[in-house]
Amino acid sequence: MKRLGRGWRDFDWLMLVLTLVLMGFSAVTIYSADGGGPITPANLGVRQALYGGLGVLVMFIVASIDYRILGSLSWIIYGGAVAALALVLVPGIGTEIAGSRRWFDLGVTTIQPSEFAKIATVLALSAFVASRGEEMQELGNVILSLLIVGVPMLLVFRQPDLGSSLVYGVIWISIMTVAHMRKRYWAILLVAAPAVIVMAWEFLLQDYQRSRWTVFLDPESDARGEGFNLIQARISIGSGGLRGFGIEGGTQSQLGLLKVRESDFIFAHASGMFGFIGMTALMLTFVLLLWRVLHVSEVARDTLGQALAVGIAGMIFFQAFVNIGMNIGIMPVTGITLPFVSSGLTSLWAFLIAEGLLQSVLLRQRKLAFQPD
């Protein structure tokens, strides 16, 4: 942190502004989804704004810490995250909601360890790839990298949370693009993928998970069950028109037909509020944010910084694509949050911590440029 004050000139303020735009959009949309009314902490949107303010402070704290120090501590952080994922599965410790045991109940709020574990996995895998360098061409190291991701992935799948478990696979693919993995290993994985998917479908997925993957193709086949909210989401998006209905939200939200509109289906609710113009602006904001995140990988002068950037970029892209996709009907319902937008402290803070890591990389590249290789 020596002379860090001068280094803040390398802070990506545009990235922060784009993040604040998404967080502001989130607070207003969640405020509407929770029924509006008095601006008090009782409203989810107001609470989300408070979480966001504290989260930005956490982001600056993370940014002030040298990411290489965090990389050296990655195995401790990763171990703690894996331990939390294991503990949350224990009855009496983890809290079960709607058949899934994913949360720790702290009284004032709930914490979902799988969100923080994503960041811990990005950090650990990035540190592993950076430490191995050219040795990532060896099969043994590729297998170890799969184990680093596979352990938390399986624990999250056991909760069960299929959507979040898939994010860990995307993290591995993203980070391995900057590793020195041989092309033939990529080819083997590509050839093996269909067989793995078939085996997972037959032996790992539960009936309701298979149903979600089939109903999204034809929601009318189960219009009063799994397909109900998909139908309401499409109607809500279409009813928003060009400019939307404003703070009251779309017709389906006003009638109370669109469920979980503050989290999983926040895009559909926001479409009713802001219409086509507003949602186009939202997606453009995500595109610009991804551009700034990938910019970090371009300017990073070490593998650790590059791996962190592409891992986080992959996570943001995948979650945004799947969440928006399930709202508009091109992806099955998986419960994946929309980054910086969906309701909840854990998801928001996890992404702000990720942004803190990116800013930490940027703040130290000027100094690394003058260090000998």
Distances (CA, A) of 318 to 19, 245, 265: 17, 29, 16
User: Is pLDDT of 373 > 70?
Assistant: no
State the pTM of this model: 0.93
Per-residue pLDDT at 319: 97
Quote the CA–CA distance of 30 and 342 in Å, as a whole number.
8
Q: Is residue 373 part of a domain?
A: no
Q: Is residue 310 part of a domain?
A: yes
Number of domains the chain is built from: 1
Q: Which among 292, 283, 349 has a CA at the least distance from the CA of 15? A: 292
Q: How confident is the model at residue 178 (pLDDT cuts 50, 70, 90)?
A: very high
pLDDT at 2 over 70: no
pLDDT value, residue 1: 46
Measured CA to CA, the distance from residue 264 to residue 57 in angstroms comes to: 26
Average pLDDT, stretch 37-56? Answer: 93
**Structural domain contains residue 372:** no
Q: Please check whether residue 203 lies inside any domain of the structure.
A: yes
The C-alpha angle 48, 51, 56, rounded to 5 degrees, equals: 125
Q: Is residue 370 part of a domain?
A: no
Place of tokens 């595109």: 287
Which residue range is the domain that position 28 belongs to?
A: 4-364
- Model pLDDT for residues 280-314, shown as the tens digit of each residue: 999 999 999 999 999 999 999 999 999 999 999 99
361, two tokens: 């990389």
Q: What does the pLDDT look like over 241-292, one tens digit per residue?
A: 999 999 988 889 988 899 999 999 999 999 999 999 999 999 999 999 999 9
**How many CB atoms are located within 10 Å of the residue 348 CB?**
26
In a domain, 371, yes or no: no
Strand bridging mode 110-111 / 95-97: unpaired
pLDDT at 41 over 80: yes
What pLDDT digit, counting tens, does each position of 56-109 carry?
Answer: 999 999 999 999 999 999 999 999 999 999 999 999 999 988 788 999 998 888
**Rounded CA gap, 170 and 122, in Å?**
10
pLDDT tens digits, one per residue of 344-358: 999 999 999 999 999
Q: Specify the DSSP element, H or E, that contains 200.
A: none
Separation CA 292–CA 247 (nearest Å): 30
